[in-house]
Structure 1
Amino acid sequence: MEQKVELRKVRDFGELINDTFVFTKQNWKPLLKAYFTICGFFLAAAVIVAVLQQQRLLQAFGSLPTGTSPFAVYGWDTVINVVLVMLFYVMMTLTTFSYMSLYKEKGNTAPSVEEVWSYVRYFFGRMFVAQILLSILIIIGFVCCFIPGVYLMPVTAIMLASIVFENSSLGYSFDRGFKLIKGQWWTTFGAMLVMMVVYYAVSIVLVLPISLITGAGVFLGRFNMPFPFLAATVVLQYLAQVFMILLYLLTGIAYFSLAEEKDGAGLSERISSIGKSDPSADLPEEQY
């Protein structure tokens, strides 16, 4: 029987990536069940709005008078789509991190959907505000100078993980993220970059065939993006988002590796838990 992944453990670059895939292999059924149960509504709503928006934009661009700004065709459906996508990413982040937190608390055992949902509800407001503020921070970093934006990406990811894994406030997790990643930025960034490449490669494989057919038809002037092709393209693009879970899983594993390196609490936790009852039903005490 394959040994369950121990989250609280110091890892190098290769182990971060390898253990992410091992954890995914061992937990993909309960994790995907929680993902589609909790995030399914936002995923479906975002797909429907995106399909309708793309159809309207294509029709609007086709009848746009010469000299009119292309931004004039964007309307409220664009705003709704942005909000839905934002909520979807918040829910996906929370579902993945909540699953990992409960997995650790339950002694490397997969939690139920109900348990994950209880954590998602508890952390939703905090995570929603944190993702908005940290996204603005990254954008400012890219606008002011490209390098700060790149530097902040893995740091903010660790900050978001800290909110769930330590039940911390945004202020505490902000400071915690910089402390944890100090001296390990390249390792963390490199592992995340590899996982992003995997995600984009899978996305391209899923979307490329129908995109080529649609693009060839438009180029040859035989059709102008029929609705079935438009809908299929959007649906595949959003379904590919499920592979973003790999990046969040790697972020969580990187957090535990960094925390163990800095705190060395993993062994102490395992020793102190001997003979004690399972604390998985209780949320951790909030830190400031």
Structure 2
Amino acid sequence: MNNNYIEFKKKRELGDILTDVFVFLRTNFKPLFSVLFKTTGIVLVILLLSIAYYTHATSNFMDPFALGGGAGNLNMFNSGSFLISAFVMIISILIFYGLVFGTVLHYIKEYTDNQGVVLQQNVIDGVKKDLGSIIGLSILSSIMLLVGFMLCVIPGIYLYVPLSLIFPILVFRKSAVFDTISESFELVKNEWWITFATLLVIGLLSYVISMVFSIPAIMYTFFKTFTAASEGSFSDPSSMFDWVFILLNTIASVLQYIIIYLFTAISTAFIYFNLNERKHHTGTLEQIDSLGKTE
């Protein structure tokens, strides 16, 4: 057993979940990121390129000549560059989101099954096996949330809580895609508010931490704005979006996605086991069974 082993299958209060999320990440940082790089590396590169392309296409909004379709310039909407870049970026984010969650949860499954000992190849094999289901659930849940938020926001908030647990259910219970959704609603029944509070706090913390990576891009933008204003050369706002800004913004955006997804994935695992223990006492029964066998 790993000396720093953290027991997932037990009841926890909100404060305990928050503490253990950080402890788990601190004690498993290197091996977890190592396997994450192996499972998400290709998609991560595509995500980097798509965000850079999207940032570049968006900068055309600030270019009066591009928007006006002046001589020698392609109209942004006619060329379709903005729509293409947005579509590619959204698809990349959805796939990256699913892969991060799948990798983290399969890592935790291996971690819990072997008392803290993780074989990376087992994690990679698990992600490959569930890849289709993970991506399908990622797209399906996104559509459900989009519809929910379009229906006056509140339904979207309500749906977000159970849908946040679909990946843990898929990985830990090996449920079918559509079964995970019904099981997620059953799992949060009578526990919606505490689950919502936990997700909200984790979301705020991870967002604040991730914002640190935006500081270089913000500082560079401030410096460029101040310089342009002092020189009286602010007639073309699109000049603010040069290659340096695009690079800084792209790196910051990807790091923010990684931090937020990572913290959320780990926290949903703790939330899942907490709710599962409260309803089914699985961890307690396993401990009793193991004690009986040792005796």
CA RMSD of aligned residues (A): 2.4
Q: Report the CA distance between 1:190 and its aligned residue.
A: 1.0
Residue 154 of structure 1 contacts residue 185 of structure 1 at CA under 8 Å; is this kept in 2?
Answer: yes
Whether 2:89 is the aligned partner of 1:89: answer no
- Which of the two has higher C-alpha Rg? 2
Whether 2:169 is the aligned partner of 1:195: answer no
Whether 2:175 is the aligned partner of 1:159: answer no
Q: Report the CA distance between 1:112 and its aligned residue.
A: 2.5
Q: Report the CA distance between 1:246 and its aligned residue.
A: 1.1
Letter paired with 1:82: I
TM-score (norm 1): 0.87
Partner of 2:20: 19
TM-score (norm 2): 0.85
Q: Report the CA distance between 1:155 and its aligned residue.
A: 0.6
Q: How many residues align?
A: 275
Q: Report the CA distance between 1:125 and its aligned residue.
A: 0.8
Letter paired with 1:98: H
Partner of 1:246: 263
Structure 1: runs of 5+ lacking an equivalent: 277-288
Paired residue secondary structure (2:178): helix
Residue 218 of structure 1 contacts residue 225 of structure 1 at CA under 8 Å; is this kept in 2?
Answer: no
Residue 166 of structure 2 contacts residue 181 of structure 2 at CA under 8 Å; is this kept in 1?
Answer: yes
Cα deviation digits, residues 5-31 of structure 1 (max 9, x gap): 101001111111111112112211111
With over 3 angstroms needed to count, the CA separation of the structure-2 counterparts of 1:218 and 1:70, relative to structure 1, is farther
Paired residue secondary structure (1:74): helix
Whether 2:263 is the aligned partner of 1:255: answer no
Cα deviation digits, residues 20-46 of structure 1 (max 9, x gap): 112112211111111122112211221
Q: Report the CA distance between 1:251 and its aligned residue.
A: 0.5
- Aligned mates of 1:9, 1:226 — CA distance in 2: 51
Percent identity, aligned pairs only? 25
Residue 145 of structure 2 contacts residue 160 of structure 2 at CA under 8 Å; is this kept in 1?
Answer: yes
Pairing 1:122-161 to 2, within 5 Å after superposition:
122-161=129-168
Letter paired with 2:286: E
Pairing 1:73-88 to 2, within 5 Å after superposition:
74-88=82-96
With over 3 angstroms needed to count, the CA separation of the structure-2 counterparts of 1:21 and 1:87, relative to structure 1, is same
- Aligned mates of 1:3, 1:213 — CA distance in 2: 41
Q: Report the CA distance between 1:60 and its aligned residue.
A: 6.5
Pairing 1:1-288 to 2, within 5 Å after superposition:
3-59=4-60, 61-62=62-63, 63-66=65-68, 74-109=82-117, 111-218=118-225, 220-221=227-228, 223-244=239-260, 245-273=262-290
Structure 2: runs of 5+ lacking an equivalent: 234-238
Cα deviation digits, residues 187-231 of structure 1 (max 9, x gap): 111111111111211222211232232244146436532202211
- Aligned mates of 2:130, 2:202 — CA distance in 1: 25
Letter paired with 1:131: S
Residue 181 of structure 1 contacts residue 258 of structure 1 at CA under 8 Å; is this kept in 2?
Answer: yes
Partner of 2:236: none
